[in-house]
A = this chain, B = another copy of it.
Amino acid sequence: MKKVPQYRKLYETLRKHIVENIYKEGDLLPSENELCKLYGMTRPTVRQSLGALANDGYIRKHQGKGSIVHHLPREIGILSVSGTTSAVGDRNLRTRIITKPIIKPWDEGFMFPLSELEKESGCIYMERLRLLDGIPIFYDISYIANVNLPRITSRQFEDKSLFQILRDNYQVEIKGGEQRIKAIPSSLKIGRFLKIKRGEPVLHLERKMETNVDDLFLYSSIYCNTEKYSIYGTF
């Protein structure tokens, strides 16, 4: 078992309290010194937790005042890595597999430059469709370099986040990444999946995600129907 640092525990605790509406929007969190006493840690440690919460948009800090709970996004929080599912809240998000994970060579002219190691190992490819309240929202094509992920193609991906499987079975954690965003006209194929007409605007995200495993990156190309829902993010 991996040891979870103290500041991370407090982060998770407070985050849980916020998303479960125990601390409501606009509420003042206990002061840093109070949190120190409550959880038996020192102020720098508490500050590390609060800093992370502020960074992730859960709170806002005000010098001399305190930390105020920020309102929860009602929209789909795909811009942040952590907890796509939880960010959608109590809505019904389901995942449907279009193409089960298969191993194949990388596409010519892949959207991101690849290392030699990645090129040699080939890629694990899968297509998924994610539906919110029955409406198809994301058409998601994932690419992972085929390194150190034994038997991944035989796993069940229904209703489970790819991130979750990588975390639970391979101890892979997403650390950060980069992305490009465009508005493009829907192709026939994409339109079929997202139930929209050809030529209608679709949001296209190209993402490269870094992990705690060196040289292991996740790539995904996401087509998003933003007719009804927006993509939401804080900064």
Contact = CB atoms under 8 A, between A and B. Distances in A.
Interface of A: 44, 55, 57, 60, 73, 75, 79-81, 176-185, 199-204, 206, 210, 224, 226, 230-235
Given A57-B178, A177-B234, A183 B210 contact: no
20 contacts: A44-B44, A57-B178, A60-B210, A73-B178, A176-B234, A176-B235, A177-B234, A178-B233, A179-B234, A180-B232, A181-B181, A182-B203, A182-B226, A183-B202, A183-B203, A183-B204, A183-B224, A184-B226, A199-B199, A201-B202
Nearest to A184: B201
How many of these chains are in the complex? Answer: 2
Nearest to A180: B230
A226 B181 contact: yes
B180 A183 contact: no
